[in-house]
Amino acid sequence: MKKTHGWLLALMFLATACHDNVTDINPENRINAGLVFSSPEKMNQAVLGCYNSLQAGDMLQARALVLADVMGEDVVNRSNNFGALARYDALSSNAMAARTWQAGYKAIADANRVIDGIRNNADKTIPVQAERWIAEAKFVRAVAHFYLVNLYAQSYGFTTDASHPGIPIMTQAFYSNDPAANKPRSPVKQVYDQIITDLKDALDTLPTNHATTYMDKTRATKAAAAAMLSRVYLYKYDYTNAKAMAWAVINKDYGDFILNVQPSMTYGANNYLTKESIFSIPSKAGDFEAGYTLTANYTTNVDLGISPDFLSSATNPWLAADDKRRTQLIGLHAGQQVMVSLKYRDVADWAPIIRYAEVLLNFAEAAAHLSTTADADAVVRLNEVRNRSRVSGQSYTNGSFATQALLLDAILAERRIELAFEGHRLFDLNRLKRSIQNKRDFDYNTFVTTQAYGADKRILPIPLAEMEKSGGVLEKNPGY
């Protein structure tokens, strides 16, 4: 998936912007599909096209992750580029929300066409390879559905049975003017069920390793599928399976993963191929100039500064003054004189989608939830993450936590710090049913109105244009 090279043939086939635009596809696409999947080499290029769609600036290279941060409380929307969304007063016509929706469904549409195309042309390659490519496309489809359902729908626990509106589930490739391409929103539970089905299918078939380390980190592997499953199960409060999937990665069932010695060794040039990275999105040429990279948003354009409340020992006592994540990964921007994340400094910096540190914290949180006391295994995994960055503080012991609740507080605080500025904060606040409070506006002095759990505008609007194109099939989000 090296940048965007070599997938022009796939582009003939993977050309639609989102699921609502599939009605624009002409019957000739059936012929193009036969050309795109006419050889193993062309099939591989089509699969790379799926990753390229995930790599879009409006998707995982930047925007989907940035939105999940800017709608939390740990960053300040200092350039005001995300104003309405960051203040929870956007309209359904918000262009930024529409572009991320379209980018996510383009990735899903591309994955569906690859699955369909390879199945229909399976005789042109060996069965094992065909199934692996299909598994990669299912992984892409699952990841795109996951980010969309968490951006555009309330969290899994919003209703007791997760029956509230989610997003349209798209698993079919449409080739002609088919009204069935306009799908209604499925309940959140059904969306999660589909994500889990795709990831489990992928886990069964994906390789442990690809031909190169670069491919291991940028294409789906068994470890990537298992790690993503641990996250998905955690979000749906299935702690038994979340713990099991995380343990499979920790136990090296799917490869050898470890934390880097220093937190700074995880980011920046030449650090994305280390054993801490499980799945990442490389930077795509040209998107930096448009502001569609994490580096542009966090460091170069300085759209997003770090909230003083994240840095303060009074409001975030878990981030010690000598914590290496503070001293190595946070700094003063010389030109703007604001504190910024130093996880992204160069135009070519990647987006870290799944890191081993998250897997350790997934395990710790799931294990803690499954115990009525301070679980010893949870403490061990919590210490693995914390001790890498700890300097003067004492390492945790089982006696550090009198109750399960205190251990969970420590794990969640560690998650907030360790995964900061990587697109997790809003999702964690939503699944944990916590208010978003003490959120500073672009001037750093004004505070945005507190958003209680379940507030309408803690999630993005279903885009107005998509609802209109659907002829009323798509249901709007309340409050928009």
Of residues 269 and 227, the one with the higher pLDDT is 227
Least confident residue range of 170-179, 329-338, 413-422: 170-179
From residue 207, give the alpha-carbon distance in Å to each of 40, 136, 184, 348, 365.
17, 10, 34, 27, 28
Q: Rounded CA gap, 370 and 355, in Å? A: 23
Q: Is residue 477 part of a domain?
A: no
Q: How confident is the model at residue 14 (pLDDT cuts 50, 70, 90)?
A: very low
Q: Is the CB of residue 298 less than 8 Å from the CB of residue 342?
A: no
Look up the CATH number of the domain holding residue 178: 1.25.40.390
pLDDT on residue 175: 64
Q: How confident is the model at residue 11 (pLDDT cuts 50, 70, 90)?
A: very low
Q: pTM of the entire structure? A: 0.93
Q: Is residue 168 part of a domain?
A: yes
Question: Would you say residue 20 has pLDDT above 90?
Answer: no
pLDDT on residue 35: 87
pLDDT on residue 32: 65
Q: Is the CB of residue 307 less than 8 Å from the CB of residue 75?
A: yes
Question: Tokens at residue 251, please?
Answer: 């136990």
Of residues 347 and 465, the one with the higher pLDDT is 465
pLDDT on residue 171: 96
Least confident residue range of 15-24, 65-74, 153-162, 436-445: 15-24
55-85 residue pLDDT tens: 999 999 999 999 999 999 999 999 999 989 9
pLDDT on residue 443: 95
Q: Is residue 199 part of a domain?
A: yes
Question: Tokens at residue 393, please?
Answer: 């503080």
Count H helices, E strands: the chain? 19, 6
pLDDT on residue 348: 84
Q: How confident is the model at residue 18 (pLDDT cuts 50, 70, 90)?
A: very low
pLDDT on residue 119: 96
Domain total in the chain: 1
Q: Is residue 478 part of a domain?
A: no
pLDDT on residue 155: 98
Number of neighbouring beta carbons within 10 Å of residue 460: 25
Residue with tokens 């993450």: 385
pLDDT on residue 25: 32
Number of neighbouring beta carbons within 10 Å of residue 349: 24
* Domain encompassing residue 320: 8-469
Question: Tokens at residue 306, please?
Answer: 């770090």
194-244 residue pLDDT tens: 999 999 999 999 999 999 999 999 999 999 999 999 999 999 999 999 999
Q: How confident is the model at residue 34 (pLDDT cuts 50, 70, 90)?
A: confident
Average pLDDT, the chain: 91
Q: Is residue 480 part of a domain?
A: no
